[in-house]
Chains A and B, each alone.
Chain A
Amino acid sequence: MGALAAGSVRGNLYMYDTNKAGGSTGFGTEELRTRVRAGDRVLWNCLALECEAFVGIAGIEVDKSVIEPERKVYPGTDVAYWIGTVKKDDIDVVPYRIRFLVGTRTEPITTTLSPTLVG
């Protein structure tokens, strides 16, 4: 709702991953730094804080030599997630951008601050 009202996810986006023990940082911010290694499968999905609101991922823009996320659906549903496999080690810091579908807006809203994958 905040993102819809502001037309931006700035201040309205909270990102987390499940690799805290592996060294990820920036939990609960728009600049999540996810620690990855070659071969790791990274899956993105999103939830709206208001369960009556719709939110989805329209695309993830990232260096394709590191990871190529693609859209898939949970079998038997139209609920989508994005998934990709990290192609190499020693990637240093790789920023990426997520384009969100929010509510009934036709134009996606893109992240302004940058989450990253870190090697």
Chain B
Amino acid sequence: MSDPVSPLGNARFDGFVSVREVGPLGMITLRAKADVKELAAAIKAAVGTTVPAQRRVVINGDRAAGWMSPDEYLLVLPYDQVAAAMAAIATAMGGAHHLAADVSDARAIFRVEGAKATQALQKLMPVDFATLEPGELRRSRAAQVAAAIWEQDGGFTVVCFRSVAAYVFGLLSHSAQPGSELA
């Protein structure tokens, strides 16, 4: 069995905010219509949270469930517990129409931390951070690639595709250059 590695080997940059690549982190994409009654039990079994409301992320320690679209949820959990969670989802969903996929190795995750974390992201994303609510998961783009962000533990978690991990890390670290704070 090979050891899982995060795309950039937990790279880190310290500017006016710190940018660090975290991981490997377990991620499961769960697709099912919101009215499927088995859904709540499946999410509970996998990450121990309630079904997130529209555009929300529910955090439970090192696990989380996020709302990605009307029929798609993102489950975040420790990497080595994905297989167990996948089995739990399959049991809980039973015959209900759904799709659960292990996307842990398809993603890269960054943490942007510091008092001015918003400023580093503001320069890259067409998101109005003033109206971003606590516990909101926002899917958008970071410069030229898709990214999702949510606020957690006094910083932001940024999720993007693994193939663009180096690009996004470059963007974030450039955006966090000391002296480039917004007024």
Are chains A and B native binding partners rather than an unrelated pairing? no
